[in-house]
Amino acid sequence: MSVYRITLGTPEELVPTKFSPKSKIEVTPLSIEHAKELHFKQTARGLLVEFPLNPGNEVYGFGLQLKGFRQTNRKKTIRPNADPISNTGDSHAPVPFFVTTEGWGIFVDSARYVEFNCGYTKVSTASTAAHSELKSEFSEIYAKREASYPTVFTIDVPHVKGVDLYIFKGENMLDCICQYNLFSGGGCDVSLWGLGNLYRCHLEFNEKQVLEMAEKFRKMEIPCDILGLEPGWQSCSYSSSFVWDSERFPHYKETFEKLKNMGFKVNLWEQGFVHPSSPLYEKLLPYSGDYKVWDGLVPDFSTDGARELFVKHHEELQSLGVKGYKLDECDGSDYTGHWTFPLCSEFPSGMDGEQYHSLFGTLFLQTMMQVHGREKTLAEVRNLGALASSYPFVLYSDLYNHKDFIRGVSNAGFSGLLWSPEVRHAESKEDLVRRVQTVVFSVQSLINAFYLDDMPWIDKDCTEEIKALLELRMALVPYLYTAFYEYKTAGKPPVRALVCEHPEDKNTHELWDEYYFGDSIIVAPMTAKEESRKVYLPEGQWYGFFDGKKYEGGAAFEVTTADIPVFVKSGTVLPLATPVQYIEKDTQFEITLYCYGNTEGAVAKLIEDNGFEYAEDARVLRVNDHTLTVESYRYGIKEIKRIP
Ligand code: GAL
């Protein structure tokens, strides 16, 4: 396994690899003479790279793309933005990396708004286009025309005199993605409790209301591990003071104790913009950019000065037992609100506004990882970019189209990102249930009730359905923890689009609304008002997760169900836990092994480790369809069930 670096011209100094963790795979320098198909030149715009793209070779990636999936023949501009309106490349987390069905991919080491044109036709291209007929319908006129000849792929890096390209050549598409993640420092090491359910309270809640909500969860026996406090915990939040609001939280220490005693881990909302009333403000002035956002400083988190001040300031919060932070609004908005810093901003590190915009979320997050020290977390951030797979932070959005959220789930895995299709309000009971179905089958089960007075299921009269789904999430925790272990050690994304596994199967090329959840499960979420949906299952035999119905893959099926369509691969030993309300250091999961079809020789892995702090103590336990006892403090086998 090796990644190749080609240096073109003289690259800039402040680029993503300067700030990223150490690669876990070897990097081999390659001279341009060995990449005969690749051409580059300096233009008035910056540096232009061109190479051919074979017909039929499909392109995916570019980060968290909510509006598009297969990117072949598309133009993508890598620009962070909170409100993408179409498939342009704008995103909370755009990434200058793409992967192809031929099993190779390229990462462009730049913090510029790089433009990728994924297969265009040049005048010099030997086109074989036949005479095209006159079209009258708009949909026909503007329909995508597939090229049957090699097109030209261009990478246009503005303002620079050179760039490093990293070329990943995998055995297949998934291998290529794994290589990119290993190059990024490997997949993240998440806390065990982070895979439980997270509920964020109304932003105006005071300590009494927060405690009431916590007690309500425990009384109703709805599993919840993490309670999130939104902006209202601070005396000032837009921009942030990072200081407790004395009216809403006069007894925050006692509140923390009570929450801890009920088994909750607390996550605090924060922003990277520092309000004049904050004790950090004056000290941060020399380490901040020259423009403000919401009257707040924008700290340059690439400087030691800004990092040290932040880490020091958070010591008290850490001593209270804060387990995670939600790092909001580091993406910036250009289409709505217009709050961000200008591209001409100057930062003490020497970055301009464009570079810092691409790196802001990542650098802020790195600072907060320092705050956490040895404690593991799974927290939230609203902007990320290149080389981010090693950070235990999940992306989220204020947008709310359910289908776009599902597209985010399958897209994030192409570029080393995690995404939660969070649930907030719902139009109807059905809408709520469908959304919660999707979120429990994602990397983070997040109910973000930041503008709701109560749990969103109460007035929709579906508490029992939602409780069952949140319990199902708890049943899936050990299985998902194993998937995260594969992410950490092998770079394999825990959730990924079907095309990653089956690039040779053309049926998967446009399939954004189905995804692998771990190695053995395919999820095909449904949205409200859908009575049924088409599900494609790859070659092989599959079983319905809820009804045990058998399917012969390599075909599409019409599925009608009130449950979420979920399928388990034949030959799987699936470990499901008896749901617990929340996870503690000494939680032992009671496991039932569900054996689907012929499981002779099949094993399921269970990861036994500390789960709360970073430690090199992981034991990989292997269980099979006959395992009745396992020596482990984390797992015990309750029973074995066979699904014939
Ligand atoms: C938004 C964020 C929401 C919520 C809100 C509170 O920017 O995306 O999830 O935290 O701020 O003001």
- pLDDT tens sequence across 20-35: 999 999 999 999 998 9
Percent of the chain with pLDDT over 90: 93
Shortest-distance atom of ligand 1 to CA 328: 7
- Please tell me what DSSP assigns to residue 260: H
Is residue 28 classed as helix, strand or coil in its secondary structure?
strand
Residue 144 has pLDDT above 80, yes or no: no
DSSP β-bridge partners for residue 98: 61, 106
Q: How far is CA 386 from the centre of its chain?
A: 12
3-state DSSP call for residue 374? coil
Taking 70 as the threshold, does the pLDDT of residue 126 lie above it? no
Bridge partners of 557? 535
Tokens of 289: 């950019």
Residue 347's pLDDT is: 98
Give the pair of three-digit tokens for residue 417.
Answer: 């990102």
How many other CB atoms are found less than 10 A from the CB of residue 350? 12
The DSSP letter of residue 34 is: G
> How far separated are the first and last CA of the chain, in Å rounded?
39
Report the nearest-CA residue for atom 3 of ligand 1: 398
Q: Which two tokens stand for residue 304?
A: 């030691």
Q: Give, in degrees to the nearest 5, the angle at Cα 354 between 395 and 284.
A: 80
526 token code pair: 């449904």
Mean pLDDT, rounded, for 548-566: 97
Question: How much is the mean pLDDT over the chain?
Answer: 96
The pLDDT confidence band at residue 166, using thresholds 50, 70 and 90, is very high
Which DSSP string corresponds to 380-419?
EES---TT-TTS-EEE--S---HHHHHHHHHHHGGGT--B
Least confident of 111-125, 178-192, 215-229, 473-487: 111-125
Q: How many CB atoms lie within 10 A of CB 636?
A: 16
Look at residue 137 and tell me whether its pLDDT is greater than 90.
Answer: no
**Can you tell me the mean pLDDT for 371-377?**
97
d(CA 58, CA 100): 5
Determine which residue's CA is closest to atom 8 belonging to ligand 1.
398
pLDDT class of 134 with cuts at 50, 70, 90 = confident
Banded model confidence at residue 321, pLDDT cuts 50, 70, 90? very high
The answer to whether residues 197 and 474 touch, using CB atoms and an 8 Å cutoff, is: yes
Kindly give the distance from the C-alpha atom of residue 398 to the centroid of ligand 1, in angstroms, as a whole number. 7
- What pLDDT does residue 1 have? 67
For 153, list phi and psi in degrees, rounded to 5: -95, 130
Tens-place pLDDT, residues 561-586: 999 999 999 999 999 999 999 999 99
- pLDDT score, position 435: 98
Give the mean model confidence (pLDDT) for residues 532-536: 98
288 and 344 in contact (C-beta within 8 Å)? no
Nearest to 318 by CA among 262, 381, 241, 375: 375
Mean pLDDT value of segment 390-417: 98
pLDDT in tens, 205-263: 999 999 999 999 999 999 999 999 999 999 999 999 999 999 999 999 999 999 999 99
Q: What is the whole-number distance in angstroms between the Cα of residue 272 and the centre of ligand 1?
A: 13
Q: What is the mean pLDDT of residues 351-355?
A: 98
| Number of Cα atoms under 13 Å in the Cβ half of residue 244 | 16
Pocket test for ligand 1, best of 293, 380, 398 (most atoms within 8 A of CB): 398
Which domains can be identified in the chain, with CATH numbers?
2-183 (2.60.40.1760), 191-377 (3.20.20.80), 495-569 (2.60.40.1180), 573-643 (no CATH)
- Given a contact cutoff of 8 angstroms between Cβ atoms, the answer to whether 333 and 82 are in contact is yes
Task: Tell me how far apart the alpha carbons of residues 365 and 359 are, in angstroms, rounded to a whole number.
Answer: 10
Task: Compute the distance from residue 328 Cα to the ligand 1 centre, in Å.
Answer: 7
- 604 pLDDT band, cuts 50/70/90, is very high
How much distance in Å is there from the Cα of 368 to the middle of ligand 1? 18
Ligand 1 center–CA 23 separation, angstroms: 33
Please, is 123 exposed, middle or buried when counting C-beta atoms within 10 Å of its C-beta (0-12, 13-18, 19+)? exposed
pLDDT digits (tens, 9 = 90+) for 421-461: 999 999 999 999 999 999 999 999 999 999 999 999 999 99
For 39-70, write each residue's pLDDT tens digit: 999 999 999 999 999 999 999 999 999 999 99
Contact 106, 166 (CB under 8 A): yes
The set of residues, in sequence order, having a beta carbon less than 8 Å from that of 319 and lying 6+ positions away, is none
Question: Given this model, what pLDDT does residue 130 score?
Answer: 60
Tokens of 464: 């029992």
pLDDT value for 338? 85
Q: Looking at the CA of residue 269, tell me the nearest atom of ligand 1.
A: 10
